[in-house]
Amino acid sequence: MPNKHAAIKDLRKNKRRAARNLRDKTNVKALIKQLKSLVQEGKKSEALAMVSKLQQATDKASKKNVLHRNKARRINSMAMKITSTKK
């Protein structure tokens, strides 16, 4: 446990930020799972709508440095690939 007041405040801020980052990461993972299940069920129009939501979430997460920008690009690429190849 930190001793100085500023260090205690930093700890509180870090906990809040970590929780926010975890929420963003979890949201991206949940969207990926939903997209994959829609593609597997063959719901192409719903999957394409989900792709735009997923791209928005990954771009936001990479902008806030929650995800690395290359990982966000890989996720976006994967999403477009599975929606275009599968029926």
Q: Where are the domains of the chain?
A: 5-85
Q: What is the DSSP letter of 1?
A: -
Rg over alpha carbons for the chain, rounded to the nearest Å, is 17
Indicate the residue type of 70.
N
For 2-27, write each residue's pLDDT tens digit.
Answer: 889 999 999 999 999 999 999 999 99
Hey, what are 62's tokens?
């990479």
Hey, what are 9's tokens?
């405040």
Q: pTM for the complete prediction?
A: 0.85
- What would the CATH number be for the domain defined by 5-85? 1.20.58.110
For 68-82, write each residue's pLDDT tens digit.
Answer: 999 999 999 999 999
